[in-house]
Amino acid sequence: MALKNNVPEGPLAEKWISYRGAMPLVAPNNKRRLEVIVVGTGLAGASAAATMGELGYNVKAFTFHDSPRRAHSIAAQGGINAAKNYQNDGDSVWRLFYDTIKGGDYRSREANVHRLAEASVEIIDQAVAQGVPLAREYGGLLANRSFGGVQVSRTFYARGQTGQQLLIGAYQALSRQIAKGSVQMYNRHEMLDVVIKDGKARGIIARNLLTGELERHAAHCVVLATGGYGNVFYLSTNAMGSNVSAAWRTVKRGAYFANPCYTQIHPTCIPQSGEYQSKLTLMSESLRNDGRVWVPKNLDDAEAIRKGQKTGLDIPEGDRDYYLERRYPAFGNLVPRDVASRAAKVVCDEGHGIVGTGKGVYLDFSSAIERYGKSAAHTQGISNPGKEIITKLGTKVVSEKYGNLFEMYEKISGENPYVFPMKIYPAVHYTMGGLWVDYHLETNVPGLFALGEANFSDHGANRLGASALMQGLADGYFVIPYTIGTFLAKEIRTPKISPDDAEFVAAENDVRTRLQGLLDVQGNQSVESFHRRLGKIMWEYCGMARNADGLTKARKLIQELRAEFYKDVFIPGKQDEFNPELEKAARVADFLELGELFAVDALDRNESCGGHFREEYASAEGEAMRVDDKYTYAAAWEWTDTTQDPVLHKEELVFENVELKTRSYK
């Protein structure tokens, strides 16, 4: 099937405007008769459900959490980009568009990214109107800060809790619609299948997690806003519950999954401390504004630190390798995420790592403390300040900027980062790949839409900092409420869909059989232990650096692990009860399939781009090399039957407005 991206004709900057002018409208009396299911209540899902409820559609919203407010958007720290140009530093919709295309290493769709940049401006206005307490200057106007990979200051923030504040804003808007009855909220319900009738997505099978009961929910269309799949790596900065199952179930029913191999590995996370570790914690990118990344030059020093015989403080300045500053003098510590992560891996692979596992580097604030301390002493009129005063004053400045992050670091690591340099290492953070969608955010299955991190559309092969919140809210507040009308305008004569139709009954039976199959294995190994093993395979062969041999091996290992899972997993309890182990088992079963597709996709893409680094495609200095003449496409995979090879459908990416260049941060 040829993929039609349905991008409107016309000049880039006019596509979205002309689309909205020409699209069919659904009259209020018809909206009242149309039903929409929204799965997931993060930024994208909550904003979409709220807005469509406001418009008059009958919305049913689903979350597996106990409350819509718990979605993992809440954990985003740094900020949200918007082309407001409040700083008068030359920002514009075009620049935000361009930075995002370049940051994504020229692997995203121009028209979608431009629309994202246009919507960014409205998001800030909307959030402020809702009472989101974004940071302000003394004059009472909104404040901005800078993020990696760009030259303007366009990031809006709410201390280190921007995701929380924006999600609470969307959750409140959603709560208002719930109170009005335009959104019916289903908490503690997990989508376990999509129902397709006459070729269109018409409902879902959801499991009531408290009772275990399977429920059939029908609607005129289904919107997924179910997040990313970073937990296929087991250890990631995602929440424990984040999973791919809702999206994956639609793949099993014919939806295409695009670019699964594009994963963002975030350079600054707290390193793993032991085998028992359940997740990794991010330390915001903003820290790289002031922190300097280094490892000991001498392997002996690194070993002594790993054994606990020395600390970072014992290494004299001349014996430290500030490798980002050395390799990338132009951008230094502020190179984009993919570049910083790979550089950390290189020095650790060479034996310079500074934690017990060998996988850790320093993020050091001593220079910043000294610099700020001297400046503060000068401001206060202290002449010839001693080291003690400088440290004291500098520590205060650093704590004002990053206090909550330093506190979190100390709680987790037990070390004071004002004294000892922070220990950090890259970790899986975000997935750029996801369900393939067209300009309407509609998958190849009519009536099935995907928003936010669940789709593939805007970030190409690498996402810039502070762009995830922007995309989630753009999709939910400002894109889907329009584009869904294009689908629903054709459905105004479609009567209410009945959940008792044969397709629903059959899908429910499929789910019941699948869950019972998992319970009936009654083997000897826990779900968690399989998930952990899958994560190790993924990290080893599909992580920061990949090669054809490793990926081929990974695919085989995952297939074997999947077979073992269905022979030897043990799940206590039954279907018709509250059973968190069964929930987890169904999710891990899907990760065991997605993981294989991930390896297949990474093997297909014989180039290095963004977060996808193939060792065979690197320059002599170890920099990534794209192969534009062969791989300027989005890889949309069809895979309904895991006994067959996945089928690749290519969407050629056409760049009419920007010239493809090699990214250089030297």
Partner 1 sequence: MSHGNMNLTLKVWRQKSGQHKGSFETHKVEANEHMSFLEMMDVLNEKLIQERKQPVAFEHDCREGICGSCNMVINGMPHGPQKGTTTCQLHMRQFKDGDTIVVEPWRAAAFPVIKDLVVDRSAFDRIIQAGGYISVNTGGAMDGNAIPIEKDLSGQAFDAATCIGCGACVAACPNASAMLFTSAKVAHLNLLPQGKVEASQRVLSMVNQMDEEGFGMCSNITACEAECPKEISVDNIALMNREYIAATLGSDKTA
Residue 165 contacts partner 1 per CB under 8 A: yes
Q: Interaction with partner 1 in 348-387: which residues (CB under 8 A)? A: 356
Residue 130 contacts partner 1 per CB under 8 A: yes
Q: Angle 366-379/387-413 helices, nearest 10 degrees?
A: 140
Task: Specify the DSSP element, H or E, that contains 471.
Answer: helix 468-473
Task: Name beta bridge partners: 647.
Answer: 638
Nearer to partner 1, 31 or 70 (CB): 70
Minimum gap (Å) between residue 309 Cβ and partner 1: 14
Pairing of strands 448-450, 221-224: parallel
Which range touches partner 1 (CB under 8 A), out of 162-170, 222-230, 341-349, 431-439? 162-170
Other beta carbons less than 10 A from residue 125's beta carbon: 11
Q: Interaction with partner 1 in 69-88: which residues (CB under 8 A)? A: 69-72, 74-75, 84, 86
Pairing of strands 257-258, 633-638: antiparallel
Residue that has been written with the tokens 């009519």 in this structure: 446
Q: Interaction with partner 1 in 52-71: which residues (CB under 8 A)? A: 54, 65-71
Residue 142 contacts partner 1 per CB under 8 A: yes
- Collapsing DSSP states into helix, strand and coil, what is residue 136? strand
Count of residues touching partner 1 (by CB under 8 A): 81
Point out the residues that are catalytic. 337
Residue 199 contacts partner 1 per CB under 8 A: no
Residue 243 contacts partner 1 per CB under 8 A: no
Per-residue mark of binding to partner 1, 514-553 (x: CB under 8 A): ------------x-xx------------------------
Query: By the 8 A CB rule, do 463 and 430 touch?
Result: yes
Nearer to partner 1, 566 or 645 (CB): 566
Q: Interaction with partner 1 in 397-416: which residues (CB under 8 A)? A: 408, 411-412, 414
Task: Name beta bridge partners: 222.
Answer: 37, 448
Burial degree of 66 (CB within 10 A; 0-12, 13-18, 19+): exposed
* First-residue to last-residue Cα distance in the chain: 42
Cα separation, 601 vs 261, in Å, equals: 6
Minimum gap (Å) between residue 90 Cβ and partner 1: 18
Which range touches partner 1 (CB under 8 A), out of 127-135, 249-257, 293-301, 429-437? 127-135
Task: Name beta bridge partners: 618.
Answer: 624
Please identify which residue in 90, 138, 381, 629 interacts with partner 1, judged by CB under 8 A. 138
Nearer to partner 1, 175 or 455 (CB): 175
Task: Name beta bridge partners: 638.
Answer: 647
* AA letter at 17: I
Q: Interaction with partner 1 in 587-646: which residues (CB under 8 A)? A: none
Minimum gap (Å) between residue 66 Cβ and partner 1: 6
Cα separation, 341 vs 346, in Å, equals: 9
Minimum gap (Å) between residue 635 Cβ and partner 1: 31
Minimum gap (Å) between residue 413 Cβ and partner 1: 8
Nearer to partner 1, 138 or 317 (CB): 138
Minimum gap (Å) between residue 227 Cβ and partner 1: 12
Where does 26-109 have alpha helices with state H?
28-31, 43-55, 93-103
Minimum gap (Å) between residue 19 Cβ and partner 1: 16
Query: By the 8 A CB rule, do 534 and 558 touch?
Result: yes
Cα separation, 19 vs 23, in Å, equals: 6
Nearer to partner 1, 132 or 265 (CB): 132
Nearer to partner 1, 56 or 446 (CB): 56
Which range touches partner 1 (CB under 8 A), out of 238-246, 330-338, 342-350, 555-563? 238-246
C-alpha neighbours within 13 Å on the C-beta side of residue 397: 20
C-alpha gyration radius of the chain: 25
Residue 568 contacts partner 1 per CB under 8 A: no
Q: What does the DSSP 8-state code read for residue 74? A: G
Cα separation, 628 vs 231, in Å, equals: 30
Nearer to partner 1, 136 or 666 (CB): 136
Cα separation, 387 vs 379, in Å, equals: 16
Nearer to partner 1, 89 or 125 (CB): 125
Cα 34 off chain centre by: 31
Q: Interaction with partner 1 in 264-303: which residues (CB under 8 A)? A: 273-274, 276-279, 281-282
Per-residue mark of binding to partner 1, 479-518 (x: CB under 8 A): --x-------------------------------------
Nearer to partner 1, 54 or 303 (CB): 54
Minimum gap (Å) between residue 482 Cβ and partner 1: 10
Minimum gap (Å) between residue 655 Cβ and partner 1: 31
Residue 50 contacts partner 1 per CB under 8 A: yes
**Residue of 33, 24, 135 lying closest to 77 (CA atoms):** 135
Per-residue mark of binding to partner 1, 94-123 (x: CB under 8 A): ----------------------------x-
Residue 471 contacts partner 1 per CB under 8 A: no
**Residue of 284, 339, 330 lying closest to 105 (CA atoms):** 339
Nearer to partner 1, 434 or 481 (CB): 481
Write the CB contacts of 264 (distance below 8 Å, at least 6 apart in sequence). 337, 338, 428, 429, 430, 431, 432, 462, 463, 611
Minimum gap (Å) between residue 283 Cβ and partner 1: 11
